[in-house]
Structure 1
C-alpha cells in the first residue's frame, strides 16, 4: 500500500502540474480533511501486532479506563513536503525524567473537557503553542505506561509553522526541536538495549537524532507513540520488528508524580 501522503496528493500534483505546484499548506489541508473524515478507521490502521517496550496499547483494557494524561503529536510540513513533528527536551532541573526528550503534554486536570483539551493546554503552557494554530485531526488509542497509566496521543497539525513563536517554560522545558516523522518507521537511527525495571530486563528502543549540532535521544513511551503515529499517517508498518510487549504488573503509587511521556 502506498503511503497516505502519496495516495492523497498524487492526483492533485498531476492536475496542478501545468499551472502551479501544490504548496505544503495545501497538501496539509487535504491530509487534515482526510484524517478528519476517517479518524475512526485510522486509530487502528498501521498498528503493529506487538507493542514496544515502554508502553502497551490499551485497547485490551475496558473502554471506560480512566485517561490519566495526554500528549500532543504536533505535525507540520516543511517546504519540501516532508511531515515533521515537534519535540521537547525536559529541563535538567526536574526531579523525574530530567533531560529526556518528550512530546508536549501531561496530566489531565479538572476542567479539561477531554484528552484533546489536556494536550492543547499542556502544549500552550510548556512551549507557548497557541491552541488556535492547531487542527486536531484524530486521537489514537491510549497507551499504557510501565507505571500503569493511560496516556492518550492527540494528533494535531499546524498549517503554517511560521506563525508559531516558541515560548519555553524554562521550569519544564530546556529545548525544542523538530524531527521527520517518517524516521520512526525506519531502522536507520534506531538501536535497542535492555534496561532493568523492578527486577525485569526489558528491551527498549532508542532513536538518535541530530539537529543544530545537538544530539537528541528519543526513547521509551515517546518513541513508541511516534512509531504508532507515523504508521497511522503514512499507512504502513515500520521497517523493523517491534519489540515484544512486556507484562507489566505494577500499579501507580498514590501521590507519586505522573511519568512524562
Structure 2
C-alpha cells in the first residue's frame, strides 16, 4: 500500500507524550518521516534514546526529554524546553496512557487517583500549556487519546475506561474553547492494537485471533494504523475537522 505525504507537516513542531514505545513510538517515527520537527517525552529512557538514535539515521533526530507525566511541573518544563529549542508547538499528541487491569473490588483510592493521573490529567495540562503557544501562532492541532474500552464496557478496566470516556468530554470542551484561535482538538479511540507490551502482559495468540475474527477487517490492528490517523488529524488536510472522536478498530465494536 502507498500512504499519504502531508506537505503541511514539513518542519511543523510536533510534541508527543509517551513516545518511547508502542503506539507512541510509531507516531514519533511517522512524524519524523513526514519531515516534522519532533519532540517526545517518556519515562522509558533507554527505549526512547534508542528510538531517537535509530531515527537519526533517517536524517532527522527527534528531541527526547525524559519526563514522568505524573509530575505536571516536569511536563510544563519539557513543553517550555521544546518551544525554546524548536519553536512553538503546532501539534500536540497526548498519547501516553496506562491500561493496567484491576477487578473493581481491588481498586484503592490511590489506584483510582494514579489511573486518572496517567490517563487524563496530563492530557489536560499539556493542552493547557501548548494551547498558549498555539494561540500565538493562530493555529494548531491537539490529538487526545481515548479508547474503545469505555464504549463496550471492557472487563477489569473500570478505572481506565472511566478515564478514557472522560477524554472525549475533555476533547469536546477544549475544541469549543480553542476553536476561535483556529486550534482543532480531536481524539483517537484505538481498538485492540497489538503492541509488544500487550503481548507480554495481556494478549495471547488466541486473544489476537479472537479480535481478528470479531473485526470487519481481518488482520491485527497495529500501531502504524493509529499513527497514520494522527498524521491526518495534524495536517492541514483535516482543517475543518474538530471536536471528533475517531474510532480506529478495524470494525471490532
**Shorter-chain TM-score tier:** under 0.3
TM-score by length of 2: 0.26
Higher relative contact order (CA 8 A, sep 6+): 1
Bigger helix fraction: 2
Bigger strand fraction: 1
TM-score by length of 1: 0.25
